[in-house]
Amino acid sequence: MIKPHGSDKLNPLYVQDKAEREKLTKEAAGLPSIVISSAAAGNAVMMGSGYFNPLTGFMNRADSLAVAEKMTTTKGLFWPVPIVNVVKDASAIKGAKRIALRDPNVEGNPVIAIQDVEAVEQFTTADMELMTDKIFRTRDPQHPGVGAFNSVGTTVISGPIKVLNFSYFQTEFPETFRTAYQIREAMSQMGWNKVVAFQTRNPMHRAHEELCRMAQEQLKTDGILIHMLLGKLKAGDIPADVRDASIRVMVEKYFPPRTVLITGYGFDMLYAGPREAVLHAVFRQNTGCTHLIVGRDHAGVGSYYGPFDAQTIFHNEVPKGALEIKIFDADHTAWSKKQNRVVMMRDVPDHKPEDFVMLSGTKVRAMLAAGEALPVEFSRPEVAKILMGFYQSERGKNAK
């Protein structure tokens, strides 16, 4: 395993000592408090988990702008996107030096973290435009990440935090949610040193399954980390519990034992394409992974990014030596009718479009909702069965 980003030792911000955590929880009850955004709660969970090592808290205005513009903090730490606590109205904590951050995603808004307030600043309109341009490469409000980023406010509260819990992720996904330090421990116990990570916010079909195998075989890794996003997604994306079930059945049936770790992390999807791909690399390095698969339209949405922009940023914009983790550049994968197996399209220049088994997302959803079996070349039947149950359930709800 490789060392964490920015430090020799992982520095998770979750308060692991039970007595100290209980003491801080009692203290929080008497502190000025504020309900933070879902994005900020996700940032707190990621810092608590060690995924955002070596950050010690939320960035201030200067660091946010520096990270957006050149992917480094004012002190020179490489980082791809601002990690901020932004609110619309900070009057409830005016003048406070220590505050309780309340979780918007759990009933009753319990305290998720305590923050020492170093500064309360305002992002200007120009600041927001610059950050939006740099992070998302578009200002289109229809882009789900742009819409979310620009809707939470412009008041930025910076300073170090101590995380008291992992929001709803640990309770709703007890078998899947894992911290970066838990993943490191699991890989160490299995004797894994060279590990390739696969990022997903979707169920895995045959092409994804084989892509993981290709990467493992070509890189000669000890194992594969399938690491799924468990936070909020745009409307229409498949819920985490359905994805989780479909991925688990695929791994159980079609991968050898002890070759795959199925885990998830608590973060809301940014849909920021290239910049989010770099963030994915940073926090996979913090789990100890040596490689990350970056495929076609990684972390993208719609047609906002070129199909391989998420690979290009690593080669053209990430400074040499900024990250220890390596990227496995993957092409689009699909079932070849000629070769009777999944291939990377770049490896079969003799193929024409009709030589592949390919289905659009719209077509897949329509078939599943109608109870039609997906081609076995496209999806494992066990995976398709779980997805079919979900889409038919959704169709039933919409019909009422």
From 66, 202, 198, 86, select the one nearest 135 (Cα to Cα): 66
Q: What angle do CA 315, 320, 324 make, to 5 degrees?
A: 100
Q: What angle do CA 152, 156, 160 make, to 5 degrees?
A: 120
User: In the numeric block, which tokens belong to residue 167?
Assistant: 């929001």
Dihedral of CA 291/295/301/304: which sign?
positive
For residues 180 and 225, what is the distance between their CA atoms, to the nearest angstrom? 12
For residues 379 and 300, what is the distance between their CA atoms, to the nearest angstrom? 22
Distance (Å) of CA 226 to CA 113, 203, 262: 28, 11, 5
Give the number of residues written for the chain.
400
Query: Which residues belong to the active site?
Result: 201-202
For residues 126 and 269, what is the distance between their CA atoms, to the nearest angstrom? 24
From 51, 305, 319, select the one nearest 163 (Cα to Cα): 51
For residues 105 and 290, what is the distance between their CA atoms, to the nearest angstrom? 33
Side chain identity at 57, as an amino acid letter?
Answer: G
Q: How many CB atoms lie within 10 A of CB 32?
A: 15
97 half-sphere exposure, CB direction, 13 A CA radius: 0
Q: At what angle do helices 274-287 and 125-136 cross, to 10 degrees?
A: 70
Contact 282, 320 (CB under 8 A): no
Residue 334 has phi, psi (to 5 degrees) of -160, 165
For residues 81 and 141, what is the distance between their CA atoms, to the nearest angstrom? 19
CA dihedral 147, 148, 152, 157 (to 10 degrees): -120
Side chain identity at 292, as an amino acid letter?
Answer: L
| 113 three-class SS | strand
